[in-house]
């Protein structure tokens, strides 16, 4: 029952009715993230996201914007990533008109008052400080910097204090005009809805957007010939690491094999790395592995917060398990377990209308197609143990290995000596 239609101006509309919920989520997703930025205005995607909550022609203050959704007990928020920015409202289905009007209002009619721009710069800079002070957040930033360096994929989504401080209102409006165009925008409405009514309303609210050509995106460049280490010294009671490999993009057919491999390595409490590093060795509280993909690049990484004296041991354990994936075929029992885990996890996540809207809209925006949950479950079920080993053999290579370290360690040398498969 998922339907997609395109307005005459190029905007895509997805409706996803669901009978087992009383909620409705209205999500607008636009293909504008850190990968679409120039260095001078680094962080502008995220800053623009903040500014859409600061006043519209109909709701002139931040309080007025927030009050609309607060009054009905709804949830509204936004998010910025590498390749997109999203704005959504989730409400009781009786308030669907309010949610549609509200989301379209902030997206199309924000006014960007100068006093709010000046004030929000301080807010975002404090967000940077909070990110830097949280080692679990900062190790992610170091990881991206290590992989991609001084290009958009390696920059902080928040920008820098200098770039944000120097943003002008003209910069913000120019960026919005360039990327917030119909052909680069998806509106998805999921939950207890009547699709034909939603489509008519979206057409009324968004049909006036003027079509505009979209600038081509610049692909991320990857260049690596040997294992790489990035160490940032910090006095702390624990060392955080990110250890992994360059992998492949979202459109690669190997992605489901990569996802299942990440699950068996460190994607659940009974995964190999969690059991070994936390339960057997007692060297970490948090251990996780994920396979992350953008349209052009991707990676598999294991993140952990470790006893300072146990970092080398943990690195060796992770590398041993990576190597094992290239040599052994996952047993039938383990293969079935990780498939059931991923399908079960996804089923629970997609019970929420907001998660379901995000699931559909990101597919359409980034991949140009929509798979149903059942389609994805089928892809997962079709992965063979030999497929996972083949993916491991493709990506677990010395010339793809990367290690980011944050903690009270002063030399990279011990890690350079052991960083090989």
DSSP state of 110: B
87 forms beta bridges with 28, 78
Q: pTM value?
A: 0.96
Q: Burial, 133: exposed, middle or buried (Cβ in 10 Å; 0-12, 13-18, 19+)?
A: exposed
Q: Do domains 3-206 and 228-418 have the same CATH topology?
A: yes
Contacts of 333 (CB under 8 A, 6+ apart): none
Whether the CB-CB separation of 362 and 84 falls below 8 Å is answered with yes
CA dist 9 and 184 (Å) reads: 11
Among 49, 82, 83, 120, the one annotated catalytic: 49
Greatest C-alpha distance within the chain = 63
Superfamily the domain 228-418 falls into: Metalloenzyme, LuxS/M16 peptidase-like (3.30.830.10)
- Catalytic residue list contains 49: yes
287 forms beta bridges with 304
In the chain, where are the structural domains located? 3-206, 228-418
Per-residue pLDDT of the chain (421 residues; tens, 9 = 90+): 899 999 999 999 999 999 889 999 999 999 999 999 999 999 999 999 999 999 999 999 999 999 999 999 999 999 999 999 999 999 999 999 999 999 999 999 999 999 999 999 999 999 999 999 999 999 999 999 999 999 999 999 999 999 999 999 999 999 999 999 999 999 999 999 999 999 999 999 999 999 999 988 889 999 999 999 999 999 999 999 999 999 999 999 999 999 999 999 999 999 999 999 999 999 999 999 999 999 999 999 999 999 999 999 999 999 999 999 999 999 999 999 999 999 999 999 999 999 999 999 999 999 999 999 999 999 999 999 999 999 999 999 999 999 999 999 999 999 999 999 9
CATH annotation of 3-206: 3.30.830.10
Contacts of 152 (CB under 8 A, 6+ apart): 34, 35, 36, 37, 82, 218, 220
């Amino acid at each position: 029952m998922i339907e997609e239609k395109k307005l005459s101006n190029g905007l895509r509309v997805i409706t996803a009715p669901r009978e087992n919920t009383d909620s409705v989520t209205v999500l607008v997703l636009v293909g504008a993230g850190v990968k679409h930025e120039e260095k001078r205005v680094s962080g502008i995607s995220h800053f623009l996201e903040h500014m859409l909550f600061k006043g519209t022609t109909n709701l002139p203050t931040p309080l007025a914007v927030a009050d609309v959704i607060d009054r009905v007990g709804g949830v509204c928020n936004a998010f910025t990533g590498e390749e997109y920015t999203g704005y959504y409202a989730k409400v009781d289905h009786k308030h669907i008109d309010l949610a549609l009007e509200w989301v379209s209002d902030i997206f199309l009619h924000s006014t960007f008052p100068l006093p709010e721009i000046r004030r929000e710069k301080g807010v975002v800079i404090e967000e940077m400080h909070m990110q830097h002070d949280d080692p679990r957040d900062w190790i992610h930033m170091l990881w991206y910097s290590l992989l991609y360096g001084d290009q958009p994929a390696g920059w902080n989504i928040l920008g820098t204090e200098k770039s944000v401080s120097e943003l002008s209102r003209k910069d913000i409006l120019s960026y919005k005009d360039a990327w917030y165009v119909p052909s680069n925008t998806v509106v998805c409405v999921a939950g207890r809805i009547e699709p034909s009514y939603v489509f008519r309303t979206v057409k009324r609210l968004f049909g006036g957007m003027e079509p505009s050509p979209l600038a081509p995106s610049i692909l991320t460049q990857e260049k690596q010939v040997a294992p790489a280490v990035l160490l940032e010294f910090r006095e702390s009671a624990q060392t955080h690491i990110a250890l992994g490999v360059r992998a492949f993009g979202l459109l690669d057919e190997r992605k489901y094999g990569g996802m299942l491999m990440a699950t068996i390595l460190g994607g659940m409490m009974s995964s190999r790395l969690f059991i070994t590093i936390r339960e057997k060795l007692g060297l970490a509280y948090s251990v996780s592995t994920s396979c992350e993909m953008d349209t052009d690049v991707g990676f598999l990484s294991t993140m952990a917060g470790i006893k300072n004296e146990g970092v080398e041991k943990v690195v060796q354990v992770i590398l041993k398990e990576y190597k094992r994936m290239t040599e052994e075929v996952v047993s039938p029992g383990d293969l079935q377990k990780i498939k059931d885990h991923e399908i079960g996890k996804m089923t629970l996540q997609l019970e929420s209308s907001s998660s379901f809207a995000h699931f559909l809209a990101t597919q359409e925006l980034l991949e140009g197609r929509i798979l149903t949950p059942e389609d994805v479950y089928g892809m997962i079920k079709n992965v063979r143990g030999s497929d996972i080993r083949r993916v491991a053999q493709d990506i677990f290579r010395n010339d793809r290995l990367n290690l980011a370290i944050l903690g009270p360690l002063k030399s990279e040398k011990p890690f350079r000596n052991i960083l090989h498969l």
